Structure 1
Amino acid sequence: MQHAVAVVRAFRPNFLILAPLCAAGGIAVAWRQGVPLSVLDLGLVLLGALLAHAAVNLFNEYDDFRSGLDLLTRRTPFSGGSGALPETPEAAGGVRAAALGTLALVVAIGLYFLWHAGWPMLVIGIAGLALILTYTRWLTRHPLLCLLAPGLGFGPVMVLGSVLALGGRIDAMALLVALVALLLVSELLLINQIPDAEADRQVGRRHLVILAGRDRAARVVALLLLGGYLVVIAGVAAGVLPGTTLLALLPLPAALWLAARLPGAWRVPERLHRVLGTNVAVLLSTLALLALGLSL
């Protein structure tokens, strides 16, 4: 029973809402394009996104335990892993099996859409698999790739993959929605690396926080976060996005507060935790409101 609980914790279920929200952006774009949406395909798109995110979490938990990183980090509710394997080391095999099993289900769903939607899905699928399998072990050692990889996975791969899977096309609207997700998710991973920087350095990681320092990384976080809102504004101004997507700007005041507070907040753990929590709420609400705006 204890092993099973550890495996479930390693899924990090509290954070799995991010993937369906990114997929929802792609679904909303396909709906805007007039694509007839079947319940089966909608369900498989959302399930595939959820399982892909779960697979990333599981591989990350397993690799961080094997590398010793889990024993070095100070966990927060938003960073440092679940802590499941340091507390239950004997569950490592179960977590690895769950990661491989989850990935196999993702591949099965991908093959269905490859048969159903055609060869463009193959490019998306290969890119997604490469990101899942290489992120923790290799991409985290290359600052630019480490910064962009999460956003690429949840933006172009997940958003555009959802559009193509449902029979839609990659147009300017789809690209802008994918870009918003790319900026916001890359920002999310970067801000969560701030409290883990010293532990990451000890196991050979080399991301932007380690390379440039926490203050400069905090400024990049602000640029990425606010850049997501600028993309929405520019898209509406250019007539690419419908005016209803301005709903996504509702969390902007909180985003501005984050941009102002983060540079000093990392020095005080309690303040940093508040900033990290607010950041998650801002990101999720922005993506949800963007999908809603596209659907109206």
Structure 2
Amino acid sequence: MARDVNLADTVSGSSSAIIDRVPRLWALWAAARPSQLALIVLVYALGVGMATAGPPLIASDPETPVDVRSPAFLEPVLAGAIALFPVAVAIHYANEYVDAETDALTDRTPFSGGSGALVQTGLPRSFLRPAVIGSVAVASVVVLSIGGSTGLPRDAVALLVTMFGLGLAYSLPPIAFVRRGVGEAINAVLGGVLLPLYGVAVVASPTGAAALAVVPFTLLVGCNLFATHWPDRVADATVGKRTLAVRWSPARIRRAFAILASTAVTAAAVLWAVGVFPAIVALAHLVPTPFLLWSGIVLTRQRSPLPAVLAMVVLAVSETIAWWWIGVVS
């Protein structure tokens, strides 16, 4: 036990030393939210994995099956990832800039309350303004350049531009969806629907079945948002953010969580029954069930959103493995 404490103290001390030595650089790194960027890459890979199932289920291009070893597959996937990365960073910077006041008022958990970059460094909110402007400009140039020069499919470019616009509008005025009571819906659509479909679209045109296939994951993104917004409800209410955690009672939040979770499980079963989900993908949707049950029990009764976060991440991992298994092994 003493050894674990010493290790934790060492890691904490190393982080503090880095913050003290290069506070501005560290703030830019932390505000980009590296852990969330990794999750975004994972969900993008989920969409690409769905595309490996090929026509007619997920992709509408009828000619040849997807060959994951060919340059024709790898090049657009890499281009799509390169275009996605600066868009995600710009959205995160915008969210950190707008939420600086909220982050200063709330007690962060590892999964809520923003990155804490400004709070930990003592830098003013204005520090991030040039980062927001610069990252938006860079992302715009990268999207236009890659979309125009690499032959990234038009539907993929359209999805990426839509994500870019909605992601900025989630936080930034004059729209600021999160202050209008629809932040959770926009967030779930971004991460649960548009992002994996973008992964599909860089390889082949998505079908209606592809849109149906992401419904269970989207519902778990919604469950995750109930849990991650709960610890910040007081700070969010103070600054005027109208999240569901601010507007709804704990009992109503738990009921809504139960509805989303049960609908996700039911939807996965139905999608398997009608042939949209192969058996291995349907089984992958059972993996996060223990975490969903755990989250439903502790939601609004504890601050940490860990169980709901685990449910979403575990499904993303298991489903990604299942879809890639179909495309690579089967």
TM-score normalised to structure 2 length: 0.78
Alignment gaps of 5+ in structure 2: 1-21, 55-64, 326-330
In the TM superposition, 1:172-191 aligns within 5 A as 172-191=208-227
Number of corresponding residues: 284
d(CA) in 2 for partners of 1:50, 1:242? 30
Q: Secondary structure at the match of 1:170?
A: coil
Shift of 1:242: 0.8
Residue equivalent to 1:9: 30
Residue equivalent to 2:202: 165
Residue equivalent to 2:79: 44
**Residues 6 and 75 (structure 1), Cα distance of their counterparts in 2 relative to 1, 3 Å cut:** same
Q: Per-residue displacement from partner, 1:14-44 (whole Å, max 9, x unpaired)?
A: 2322211211221012111133453232223
d(CA) in 2 for partners of 1:230, 1:46? 32
Residue equivalent to 2:44: 23
More moved, 115-124 vs 186-195: 115-124
More moved, 24-33 vs 88-97: 88-97
**Residues 189 and 172 (structure 1), Cα distance of their counterparts in 2 relative to 1, 3 Å cut:** same
d(CA) in 1 for partners of 2:134, 2:51? 29
Alignment gaps of 5+ in structure 1: none
d(CA) in 2 for partners of 1:64, 1:223? 29
**Residues 103 and 184 (structure 1), Cα distance of their counterparts in 2 relative to 1, 3 Å cut:** farther
Higher helix share: 1
Residue equivalent to 1:292: 321
In the TM superposition, 1:43-82 aligns within 5 A as 43-65=78-100, 68-82=101-115
Shift of 1:252: 0.9
RMSD over aligned CA atoms reads 2.3
Residue equivalent to 1:142: 180
TM-score normalised to structure 1 length: 0.86
Residue equivalent to 2:14: none
Question: What is the identity percentage for the equivalent residue pairs of Structure 1 and Structure 2?
Answer: 26
Residue equivalent to 1:282: 311
Shift of 1:121: 3.6
Shift of 1:95: 3.2
Residue equivalent to 2:57: none
Residue equivalent to 1:132: 167
Shift of 1:45: 2.6
Q: Per-residue displacement from partner, 1:257-278 (whole Å, max 9, x unpaired)?
A: 222332xxx34xxx432xx112
d(CA) in 1 for partners of 2:132, 2:75? 24
